[in-house]
Structure 1
Amino acid sequence: MGISQVSHAELAVGDLEEAVGLHVDVLGMKELGRSDGSVRLTAGVDERCDLVLTSGGTGVRRFALRVDSHDDLEYYGKRLADAGIEHNTRSDEDPGVSQSLQFQTPTGHVMELSLLTDAEGPQYIHPARAAHRGGIRALDFDHITLQAQDPKPLVDFMVDILDFQISDIFAPAPGVMGAAWLRASDLHHDVAIISTPEPGKSLHHYALGMESFDHLKVAADELARHGVPIETGPGRHGVGANLYTYFWVAGNRYELSAEMPRVRPGAPGMWDNFPKAFSLWGLTPPESFGHAS
């Protein structure tokens, strides 16, 4: 019951056809269909929609979280209404989605709660199903990290209205929330929010799940073969402890993430040292890592 995990996201890109080619040939995604100037893609293992690409700009247009029943949609619809937040119901917008609630968050991000069709995809990810594909062969959409000038209103909204828990907080100074990592499942984060001084920026990165460090190595070689430079990584984060590799595709940053830990209920961890929060191995991100789309 409740929100179980991320479902999919819609990202804006400048050249739609070029972006689709990179996602299919380099990232190993599979096209599911096209409508209204958008292309829907799956990471290819469970055949569910993981990503929607839409022409025009960069950044995240909307992102969806998965719920497990109509009762969940009714529950969160009431929570939103009680909080005075306008929302609307959508049906059959994306492959494998039977119904969703769409609303705007306090930071202006468009969020959806999506109920998937029962017959769409298996109940769990099986890595062997990805073995026949080309590209980096990611397993699934793993998490999304948003940008906001002030993360706290969105963090409070997700905790108070959507029942998320906070795993970790980065506070560069007392009483200042620089970033937060939140979970709906027992994985360390499904959604994270990082502060940015730039107005109008919505996305820090869209993350794909990988099997292991060795999988990150194979993916790095695949990126190199296609001339896609790595921005930073591979490495291991301090916050969350997951393995990472970052790169840009079609104007948006992507992360390849592996070994995301499970978290027990409890008070969030607090960090005030950015280098240690970013990397346990002493890696320093480039200046470009502070940019967003």
Structure 2
Amino acid sequence: MHSKAQRFEHVELKVQDLSKALHFYQNGLGLVEIARENGVVYLGCGYDKNYDLAVSEGGTGVTHFAVRVDNEDELEYFFKKISGVGVSVVRHNGTEPGQEKGIRFQLPSGIPMEFVLVADNSYVNPARPAYPRNVASAPLNIDHINLMAVDVKKETDFFREILDFKVSDIVDPEMNGNYMMTFMRFRGYHHDVATTITKNPQETLHHLSWTMSNIEHIKVACDVLTQFEVDVELGPGRHPIGPNLYAYYLEPGGNRFEYVAEQAYLDPDSPTKIWRSMQDTLESWSKLKRPPSSFIRGT
């Protein structure tokens, strides 16, 4: 159930215990199973036939993620542009449920990314979802991904110069190019992809976000978390960057998820905002300057 501006399409994650993770994803988060192929389970929010989250057992973190393009011409444009700078690009046509065509390549961090075209671009009716939605607190859609990178500036430059992303916000405390975080958009949604600094190159994911209607939707979803003995790690609150509502938690699969609402939409020519302090980006409603120690770690 994407808006035209939102372009984050799907992600495949590793989880520590597949059956435990699936129990939560289907009964707590409220996703529906769409397919199973070669040990990978594909799930979606259910409004359309496209999958949002794929999971397989064996650790944590990102196996690959995808951003949706408009047409084959745009897909071919990126195939040529990315391969033209010496990056290996592989076609993935029909290799995943609902994915008609795609190209896969690695970011400078080594994380695999895709540009894709999906089969279901139909008009979405919330009262008539493609699959029955049995959990009232279920998200409307997958929202964005926040990756981990040792060199955030190098990752950001690749998104901006090669992948044609716009940079909405940069956290650069010393104003010397040693970025701590960046937030990037493919169309008008404030960020489809963000990056956060890490010292550990094995960490690939800070968090995966899910679109919620409003603060009431987030509140009810947090109430459901308690039924599954899942603690809210940070929030609910409002980030100064975005400036979206949020609530973070470490889900039973071993990765961090976020519930998000009221994310900003930007014009194509909106300037990049530079932030001088990580602490100033955390919370608008209080003087909270330090998150829990767990929040610094990725998976």
TM-score where L is the length of structure 2: 0.92
1:290 aligns with 2:291: no
- Encode CA deviations 1:175-199: one digit per residue, 9 max, x unaligned: 1211100001211100000001223
C-alpha contact 1:167 1:188 (8 A) present in aligned 2: yes
C-alpha contact 2:30 2:133 (8 A) present in aligned 1: no
What is the rounded CA distance, in whole Å, between the counterparts of 2:60 and 2:35 in structure 1? 21
C-alpha contact 2:106 2:112 (8 A) present in aligned 1: yes
Q: In the alignment, which residue of structure 2 is the partner of 1:15?
A: 17
Shift of 1:42: 0.3
C-alpha contact 1:3 1:68 (8 A) present in aligned 2: no
What is the rounded CA distance, in whole Å, between the counterparts of 1:44 and 1:4 in structure 2? 17
Q: In the alignment, which residue of structure 1 is the partner of 2:113?
A: 111
Give, as a single letter, the amino acid of the residue that structure 2 aligns with 1:122: S
Q: In the alignment, which residue of structure 2 is the partner of 1:223?
A: 225
Q: In the alignment, which residue of structure 2 is the partner of 1:101?
A: 103
Give, as a single letter, the amino acid of the residue that structure 1 aligns with 2:142: F
- Encode CA deviations 1:43-98: one digit per residue, 9 max, x unaligned: 11223100000111100110001011111111101101211111110122222110
C-alpha contact 1:4 1:65 (8 A) present in aligned 2: no
What is the rounded CA distance, in whole Å, between the counterparts of 2:237 and 2:6 in structure 1? 27
What is the rounded CA distance, in whole Å, between the counterparts of 1:86 and 1:113 in structure 2? 14
Q: In structure 2, do the counterparts of structure 1 residues 132 and 58 end up closer, same or farther at CA, with 3 Å as the change threshold?
A: closer
How many pairs does the alignment contain? 290
Shift of 1:133: 2.2
Q: In the alignment, which residue of structure 1 is the partner of 2:42?
A: 40
Alignment of 1:1-293 (within 5 A): 5-117=7-119, 120=120, 122-124=122-124, 126=126, 129=129, 132-134=133-135, 136-175=137-176, 176-249=178-251, 250-264=253-267, 265-282=269-286, 283=288, 284-293=290-299
What is the rounded CA distance, in whole Å, between the counterparts of 2:136 and 2:198 in structure 1? 32
Consecutive unaligned residues of structure 2, counting only runs of 5 or more, are none
- Encode CA deviations 1:136-159: one digit per residue, 9 max, x unaligned: 310001000000111111111111
What is the rounded CA distance, in whole Å, between the counterparts of 1:69 and 1:131 in structure 2? 29
What is the rounded CA distance, in whole Å, between the counterparts of 1:171 and 1:124 in structure 2? 40
C-alpha contact 1:66 1:115 (8 A) present in aligned 2: yes
C-alpha contact 1:125 1:139 (8 A) present in aligned 2: no
Sequence identity percentage = 36
Q: In structure 2, do the counterparts of structure 1 residues 70 and 20 end up closer, same or farther at CA, with 3 Å as the change threshold?
A: same
SS in 2 for 1:26: helix
Shift of 1:125: 6.8
What is the rounded CA distance, in whole Å, between the counterparts of 1:128 and 1:137 in structure 2? 15
What is the rounded CA distance, in whole Å, between the counterparts of 1:127 and 1:203 in structure 2? 33
TM-score where L is the length of structure 1: 0.94
- What is the Cα-based RMSD across aligned positions, in Å? 1.9
What is the rounded CA distance, in whole Å, between the counterparts of 2:231 and 2:32 in structure 1? 22
Give, as a single letter, the amino acid of the residue that structure 2 aligns with 1:287: S
What is the rounded CA distance, in whole Å, between the counterparts of 1:285 and 1:4 in structure 2? 28
Shift of 1:132: 4.7
Shift of 1:128: 7.5
Give, as a single letter, the amino acid of the residue that structure 1 aligns with 2:91: T
C-alpha contact 1:4 1:68 (8 A) present in aligned 2: no
